[in-house]
Amino acid sequence: MKRLRIMSLVGARPNFMKIAPLCAELRKVALVEHFLVHSGQHYSEQMSGAFFRDLEMPDPQVNLEVGSGSHAWQTAEVMKRLEPVVLDWQPDLIVVVGDVNSTLAASLVAAKLGISVAHVEAGLRSFDMGMPEEVNRRLTDAVSEFLFVTEESGVRNLEREGTSRDRIFLVGNVMIDTLLRFRAASARSPILDDLGLRAEGDRPKPYAVLTLHRPANVDDEGALRQLLISLAELSRSLPTFFPIHPRSMEKVRSFGLEDHLRLDSSKHYDSGIIPIPPLSYLDFLCLMDHARMVLTDSGGIQEETTVLGVPCLTLRENTERPVTVELGTNQIVGRDAAKILSSAHKILQGDYRPGQKPPLWDGHAAERIVQILLQRMRPESIKQ
Ligand code: UD1
């Protein structure tokens, strides 16, 4: 039987934990030939290399080395460099994950060449076209033949947009496959000792984790200043570790907001917003797992904290992942200081919902995806 040629493409940090379980699953199927392409959208050791190692991923066969640029430039450059690779390798299917610029670029290349696209994490909608990711999600879904969805809201969104039901598959969450696989290994991370958080006894000292990188929060000086002032207030009673995205650090510097951060290198942090470099996957998972709360504008972290049972305050006005609010530990607090502080203080008093895992977030999403692809693309290989 002719082997099924599947190419998948990753580009930026949040893609790596989503593709890792698919790589592992595809490797088990003799009928499948898999070819992994890295666009190079993220290229530094901290944003890319460290993840490949932590997640035990094979090196990509090709790296397009696109690097940073404006959205249009970056998307166009991935398209230009990917097209000859696709023409040369002739895949039957291209798999893309998430909602970064590389995701959209690869799906457009495939669609224009008449190659089927599978979008993993389809159907999520923030209904905020000011977010570059929302543009990427909508356009990627529009050209995808297989729409693999993490939560019920995604199915409803796609149906409302007129997508035919036989393209939509509710399969669970590949990023959670990775979290469940690596949670035990993350417990051996040295990060708590490195940050001086190990207390006497079992429980580490209390602390919060902060991440911020959305353009709406970090590109606008007023918005970033307001957020840092509110968070600095909270951090007077709860040291807040801030693994800082390179883009956000550059903005803090260029707006002259360093005074809101604690830049001394004491290891005995009892207060303040403490910037630290971006962390590897296992270190970050360990840090989230033991935190009193996580404050973030990331999408994926809302999902990860839900599964870890750690309270999450989302510093945005909306979420494309409503199940994390309905069932999980997530609360949308926006940038309003009073709301952030009152929600955080309630959490510190133990007044929060422990949350539950959404349906199918059970560590088997990648298996389901591979089974569906084989059933649809090589039905003769499936025993009746
Ligand atoms: C991208 C994604 C975003 C995702 C985020 C995770 C888009 C539209 N955005 O945003 O959805 O949540 O990744 O990080 O695709 N840089 C480095 N090292 C790197 C890569 C980038 O220092 O390896 C710096 C460069 O200064 C670069 C900046 O980060 O200009 C922004 O990188 P870019 O890929 O354009 O977007 P992100 O903000 O990371």
pLDDT digits (tens, 9 = 90+) for 91-130: 999 999 999 999 999 999 999 999 999 999 999 999 999 9
Identify whether residues 11 and 132 lie together within a single domain: yes
**Distance separating alpha carbons of residues 121 and 306, to the nearest angstrom:** 17
Residues 110 and 33 in one domain: yes
State whether 18 and 67 are in the same domain: yes
Q: Answer whether residue 94 is part of any domain.
A: yes
Check whether residue 62 and residue 123 sit in a common domain. yes
Mean pLDDT of the chain: 96
Residues 153 and 284 in one domain: no
Question: Is 70 exceeded by the pLDDT of residue 292?
Answer: yes
Q: Could you give the number of structural domains in the chain?
A: 2
Range of the domain at 218: 186-348
Query: Using CA atoms, how far apart are residues 64 and 82, in angstroms rounded to an integer?
Result: 7
How far apart are alpha carbons 276 and 167 in whole angstroms? 43
* Cα angle 274, 69, 61; round to 5: 95
Read off the DSSP letter of residue 279: P
End-to-end CA distance of the chain: 17
145 with 289, same domain: the answer is no
Residues 219 and 142 placed together within one structural domain of the fold = no
- The confidence band for 383, taking pLDDT boundaries of 50, 70 and 90, is low
Specify the residue with its C-alpha closest to ligand 1, atom 28.
Answer: 247
Distance CA 119, CA 122 (A): 6
Q: What is the pLDDT of residue 384?
A: 55
196, 290: one domain: yes
List, for residues 240-254, the tens digit of each pLDDT value.
Answer: 999 999 999 999 999
pLDDT at 381 over 90: no
CATH number at residue 367: 3.40.50.2000
Name residue 235's amino acid.
Answer: S
Spot the catalytic one: 42, 213, 245, 364: 213
- Per-residue pLDDT of 148-205, as tens digits, reads 999 999 999 999 999 999 999 999 999 999 999 999 999 999 999 999 998 777 789 9
Is residue 56 included in any domain, yes or no?
yes
Q: Is residue 179 part of a domain?
A: no
Q: How many CB atoms lie within 10 A of CB 135?
A: 16
For ligand 1, pick from 43, 48, 68, 321 the residue to mutate: most ligand atoms within 8 Å of CB.
68
Q: Are residues 150 and 197 in the same domain?
A: no
Q: What are phi and psi of 146, to 5 degrees?
A: -110, 120
List alpha helices for the chain, DSSP H.
13-27, 50-54, 71-89, 101-112, 132-143, 152-160, 174-186, 191-194, 215-218, 221-234, 246-254, 281-289, 300-308, 323-326, 337-348, 365-377
Q: Which carries the bigger pLDDT value, residue 269 or residue 30?
A: 30
Residues with CB under 6 A from ligand 1: 12-14, 41-44, 47-48, 68, 100-101, 132-133, 213, 245-247
At 26-63, the pLDDT tens digits run 999 999 999 999 999 999 999 999 999 999 999 999 99
Q: Which residues contact 150 (CB under 8 A, 6 or more apart)?
A: 121, 124, 170, 171, 172, 173, 303, 321, 323, 358, 361, 365
Same domain (yes/no): 206, 285? yes
- Within a domain: 353: no
pLDDT at res. 248:
96
Residue 228 forms part of a structural domain: yes
User: Domain for residue 295, yes or no?
Assistant: yes
Task: Name the residue with tokens 């919060």.
Answer: 208
* 168 plus 30 within the same structural domain: yes
pLDDT digits (tens, 9 = 90+) for 196-232: 998 777 789 999 999 999 999 999 999 999 999 999 9
The Cα–Cα gap between 140 and 135 comes to 8
Do 273 and 236 lie in one domain? The reply is: yes
> Is 211 inside a domain boundary?
yes
With respect to residue 13, please indicate whether it lies within any of the assigned structural domains.
yes
